[in-house]
Chain A
Amino acid sequence: MEDKRIKMDHGSGGQLSRELVEEIFIGSYGNPVLNQLHDGAALAMQSERIAFTTDSYVVKPLFFAGGDIGRLAVCGTVNDLAMTGAVPRYLSVGMILEEGFLLSDLQRIAASMQTAAAEAGVRIVTGDTKVVNRGAGDGIYINTAGVGDLIAGTSISPGNVKPGQDIILSGYIGDHATAIMAGRHQLVLPESIQSDCAPLGKLVQDMLAVVPQVALLRDPTRGGVAAALNEIATQAKAGILLEESALPVRPEVAAVCDLLGFDPLYLANEGKLLAFVDATYTEQLLAVMRQDPLGREARVIGRVTTEAPGQVGLRTAIGGTRLVDMPLGVQIPRIC
């Protein structure tokens, strides 16, 4: 293709559209199903019960330490499937491109999606591309939907959350949100801060193979651990108590938080999960998690209690307690 940038014609369904799909999308993540370029993908699933999810991605900046919007689009949907207790299988990719978007960026994003898909063991089998006028979009928006096979013998649901369960977190929190912030407010972040964007399908499969009794899985994305746990506490009508001293936060991330007045509990993560499991299975579950690079730092951060149903509390390092409320909106830097 000679054109360096996306034109309205690329979205018209005509020759330019076709070329775009063949060169960039099939070129990056093609496979026998996608390559047919049929209106829809005919698929065989392995399980009678399947999981289905969708998400849209509008992150800025598009490229950041540890990932980009493409990787995010694949891992985000893969992880949602994993959190329902499914083996992720197939993804669709819908893109809305702004006229003028650089083809080289699109190429980079597509390549990244292929890498992520291969890591996750999924295939992108169908898609759609539209182009909007310059000014009517923000470069690129991506929607992915995904299906997966629900793992038999498991029951993952907020309804299973009960007092006596431990809450396990798979690793460091706040990495993704902090990596996105690099460059803002003139902060120079060390290379050790990278988005944690990663597919969790295999980790979840290994976990459920050893401990099928896992009650609930949730990935703490937007709104962080605080939002995820508040939702669960409300849905399950259960109380949750966390231990401040158990929360895994990298020193660099803690430094950015202290500087800008953020709380790591409210920062987004893209490669972490929370698992609720009866305390009798905790050690077993931790052992299997720690064998996976994505679960190396797994630990118990709290438990489900009988007190204060619907509330999430935190026991502080000096032994006090405070409420961890649902976040209202975006965190903004504050003075003092």
Chain B
Amino acid sequence: MAESHWGRQRWQGKGVGDMCLAVPAKIVEKKDFLAVVDMSGVQRQVSLMLLPEAAVGDFVLIHAGFAMQVIEAEEAKRTEEMLQLMRGD
């Protein structure tokens, strides 16, 4: 039985390591300043006017139809920090 995604997607399963953001939008196509992003299968065209350097394969934060910033995959950093804190390092 499939697990509940709604609760899960807030945490992306294995802890805050991966894309904690509720909707990671992955760029699957890019042409000049237009990109198509994919969010769990839902697609939309977004503008790259505010983020021209973004590349296919990047996960981006989108807002009002624009890509605003690339989301760093190394959020594993935060989990590490937190786990260190918890261990008392």
Name A's B-contacting residues (CB within 8 A): 185-190, 192-193, 243-252, 254-256, 258-259, 264, 290, 296-297, 299, 317, 335-336
Q: Answer whether A187 and B42 are a contact pair too, CB < 8 Å, given A258-B22, A317-B7.
A: yes
Residues A251 and B7 in contact, CB atoms below 8 Å apart: no
Q: How far is the CB of B28 from chain A (nearest CB, A)?
A: 11
Decide yes or no whether B41 CB sits under 8 A from chain A: yes
- Measured in the bound complex, the distance between the Cα atoms of B68 and A318 in whole Å is 28
A335 in complex: contacting residue of B4, B5, B64, CB < 8 Å: B64
- Measured in the bound complex, the distance between the Cα atoms of B2 and A249 in whole Å is 10
Q: Answer whether A258 and B23 are a contact pair too, CB < 8 Å, given A186-B45, A187-B42, A252-B40.
A: yes
* Cβ-Cβ contact count across A and B, 8 Å cutoff: 79
Decide yes or no whether B77 CB sits under 8 A from chain A: no
Interface stretch, picked from B8-16, B49-57, B81-89, is: B8-16
B7 in complex: contacting residue of A186, A193, A247, A296, CB < 8 Å: A247
**A317 contacts across to B, CB distance below 8 A:** 7, 10-11
Q: Digit string of B61-74 for contact with A (CB within 8 Å is 1, else 0)? A: 01111000000000
Residues A259 and B4 in contact, CB atoms below 8 Å apart: no
- Measured in the bound complex, the distance between the Cα atoms of B42 and A189 in whole Å is 5
Q: How far is the CB of A304 from chain B (nearest CB, A)?
A: 20
Residues A251 and B11 in contact, CB atoms below 8 Å apart: no
Q: How far is the CB of B68 from chain A (nearest CB, A)?
A: 12
Residues B1 and A254 in contact, CB atoms below 8 Å apart: no
Q: Answer whether A249 and B42 are a contact pair too, CB < 8 Å, given A255-B23, A258-B23.
A: no
Residues A245 and B40 in contact, CB atoms below 8 Å apart: no
Starting from the known contacts A186-B44, A255-B41, A255-B42, 17 additional A-B residue pairs (CB-CB under 8 Å) come to A185-B44, A186-B45, A189-B41, A189-B42, A244-B6, A249-B6, A250-B5, A250-B40, A251-B9, A251-B40, A254-B5, A255-B23, A255-B40, A264-B6, A290-B1, A317-B11, A336-B63
- Measured in the bound complex, the distance between the Cα atoms of B7 and A251 in whole Å is 11
- Measured in the bound complex, the distance between the Cα atoms of B41 and A189 in whole Å is 7
- Measured in the bound complex, the distance between the Cα atoms of B41 and A243 in whole Å is 26
**A258 contacts across to B, CB distance below 8 A:** 22-23, 39
Q: Digit string of B10-48 for contact with A (CB within 8 Å is 1, else 0)? A: 110000000000110000000000000001111111000
Q: Answer whether A245 and B4 are a contact pair too, CB < 8 Å, given A255-B23, A258-B23, A259-B23.
A: yes
Q: How far is the CB of B56 from chain A (nearest CB, A)?
A: 17
Q: Identify which of B4, B8, B43, B45 gathers the most chain A CB atoms within 10 Å of its CB.
A: B4
Q: How far is the CB of B37 from chain A (nearest CB, A)?
A: 10
B41 in complex: contacting residue of A246, A252, A335, CB < 8 Å: A252
- Measured in the bound complex, the distance between the Cα atoms of B44 and A256 in whole Å is 10
Q: How far is the CB of A254 from chain B (nearest CB, A)?
A: 5
